[in-house]
A and B are shown apart, each in its own frame.
Chain A
Amino acid sequence: MKGWIQELPRQEFAFQGRGPGFSLLLKRNCSISPAGLMWAYGAIAAVTLGVAAAFAVLGAWMVLPFAGIEVVALGIAFAMNGRHAADYERIQLAGGRLLVEVCESDSVRRHEFNPARASVMVAGAGHGMRIMLESPGRSLEIGRHLHERARLELAGELNRRLRN
């Protein structure tokens, strides 16, 4: 039987561009848009608080605080999960410049490195393993959205491309 869900070959990360330049975007997997999440939250909050308010009007006001606590808890959960949902790292080599754009929560920071002097180092091992983009006097952690094995692959591939 042929299933209705078909899995495609997995790409850990994909460099874009030909020749000496490349562009790489690393981001978390998030399957809902902020607007969609707001709709989902609004719908359940409206129903829950509406029901509680109706009971409060009928004299059973003690439903309301429980509903309030619950709606706040759900909001905190969505906020905690959604705060970093759009985080990404973009690594670009173009025009003789190595640019790293890091989006974290609501801030975007851009870092520029000299590709001739930059290298990728692996720090630590196991669960605490990190990869650092380094040039004299500067260091930046990259690949935070990858698991350890993919980080090692990224470090090797980036080093190879930078050397070329």
Chain B
Amino acid sequence: MSAVLDDHGHDHGHDDHHHGYSGIMRWITTTNHKDIGTLYLWFSFTMFMVGGVMALVIRAELFTPGLQIVNPDFFNQMTTMHGLIMVFGAIMPAFVGFANWLIPMQIGAPDMAFARMNNWSFWLLPFAGALLIISFFMPGGAPGVGWTMYAPLTVQMGIGMDFTIFAIHILGMSSIMGSINIVTTVLNMRAPGMTLMKMPLFCWTWLITAYLLIASMPVLAGAVTMTLTDRHFGTSFFNAAGGGDPVLYQHIFWFFGHPEVYIIILPAFGVISQIIPAFSRKPLFGYASMVYATASIAILSFIVWAHHMYTVGMPVTGQLFFMYATTLIAVPTAAKMFNWLATMWRGSLTFETPMLFALGFLFLFAIGGFSGLVLALAAVDIQLQDTYYVVAHFHYVMVAGALFTAFAGIYFWLPKWTGRMYNETLGKVHFWLSMIFFNMIFFVQHFLGLAGMPRRIPDYPLQFETWNKISSIGAFGFGLSQLLFLYIVVKAITSGEKAADKQWEGADSLEWTHLPSPAPYHSFETPPVVK
């Protein structure tokens, strides 16, 4: 029998510490997947706070009718940058942080395949984030075009638009490098015996997500580059006056934009698929069908983009195609929901904070899914296009779907990452505050949308005041609740009780069964054998 050994970790020592620089230089030069995962997560939280403050400016302005706090132009800048920062700066990096921390540990690898590239992937992000924020201080301010950056409005913006385009390029480069790293790691560095169909579902969802990123990111890069050349180099890709087509931009953007939704939500599905079995003390029900459902969702995500564009003018046959294709996504998504519920069925359930957030996700993501089905119907969507119903829908998917899952994941893996346990009572308080305030913000926005309130407006008729007041109060409550989250995490890191190696009885992936808490700086220099 041959020995199957690993040499990826030759640069690593065998103690439990990092080597080389200390202080800030340690973090700048680190190539360790755990360090980089930590950096991603803190960057994500910082951007979450920045984007959250922008959301509070929006909700403060919308507290009552009339213009109170900001002018309409600045309001548009807020909505634009809130969207861009939350999508590209907060949610995506959060799940890349999870990937960095967990994928090597879950597949039994010593690190990511390209450790230095991993460092570059992260350190591009602060520059991109800075460019987005600096754009506010440019002549004309930040772009106020919406996160979708539709042409031809983008051509009319000031220099802040160029900063944003440059930032998007850098963020895209970071995502591509991260994706290449993840695909190479998962395909090449699994421990002996860990076949693809034995991988934890989180690794599967990230493998598929990385493929989605690789396929869709060049489309976004092309779109913003064409916007740039239309602005400065005399091209007319999207300028009708020069023979271009503004609708082409929408097709290109949404061809990226819809897979982007799944780029965000698929890793969240992976996190949930780790947590629910752990707190049900049962293996995940229907593992294979979960993998196939994830792949099906990814494939379908490429043929539904124009459901964002029913109102731009499209043949009825086109509307029907995109309507049916979109509703088809409900099938694999429902299979996932069924499997999560079946995993809990007759399980030994307990309701610690990660499980509460996971259940909160199930409940709220189902609402977001159903409102998505409503919007998929062309005849209905034409009525609801660009109303607050759409805002409510995608926040149920993005916040309750992705953000709640990120919270669930952080509470779940914090003991493994830090070796310290968070305060369970405070964690549960954080969950219930988030749950109540989230619904205060967004559930009522369904009513506003159905009543006809348009999105992206700083002023509105008096009839919408009550629901807007409730929504704004909820927003401030939700924002303050996240300070509690910060306190819980910092408290756990600094003075939490020591966590057990296998803190959660039902957790069965390698990081729980094989590694101590906290996970050592270098883990799996020799891969375990899995059967």
Contact = CB atoms under 8 A, between A and B. Distances in A.
Nearest to A61: B222
B248 A29 contact: no
Interface of A: 1, 3-8, 10-14, 16, 24-32, 36-37, 40, 44, 47-48, 51-52, 55, 58-60, 62-67, 69-70, 73-74, 77-78, 80-82, 85, 88, 126-127, 144-150
Contacts of A24: 2-3
B125 interface: no
A110 B529 CA distance: 30
B215 A48 contact: yes
Given A73-B180, A146-B5, A148-B14, A31 B225 contact: no
A33 to B, nearest CB: 10
Interface residues on B, range: 35 or more
A81 B526 contact: no
Interface string B520-531: 000001111111
B222 A44 contact: no
Interface stretch (B191-199, B328-336, B399-407): B191-199
Contact of B6 (A28, A67, A81): A28
Interface stretch (B33-41, B152-160, B501-509): B501-509
Interface of B: 1-14, 19, 107, 113-114, 176, 180-181, 183-184, 187-194, 198, 211, 214-219, 221-223, 225-226, 229, 237, 244-245, 248, 251-252, 255, 281-283, 302, 505-506, 508-510, 513-514, 525-531
Contacts of A144: 7
A10 B526 contact: yes
Given A5-B508, A85-B188, A13 B11 contact: no
A44 B223 CA distance: 20
Contacts of B513: 3, 5, 7
B2 A150 contact: no
A13 B222 contact: no
A37 B188 contact: yes
A98 to B, nearest CB: 18
A28 to B, nearest CB: 6
Contact of B214 (A44, A126, A145): A44
B174 to A, nearest CB: 13
Contact of B180 (A12, A37, A74, A150): A74
Nearest to B225: A62
B530 A146 contact: no
A78 B6 CA distance: 18
A81 to B, nearest CB: 5
B192 A147 contact: no
A164 B189 CA distance: 37
Given A30-B188, A126-B13, A147 B7 contact: yes
Given A4-B283, A70-B217, A11 B3 contact: yes
Given A1-B281, A62-B226, A70-B176, A10 B7 contact: no
B184 A78 contact: yes
Given A5-B510, A31-B190, A147-B525, A25 B255 contact: no
Given A28-B5, A47-B211, A147-B5, 12 more contacts: A5-B509, A7-B528, A31-B188, A36-B187, A44-B214, A51-B219, A51-B255, A69-B218, A70-B176, A80-B114, A126-B13, A127-B10
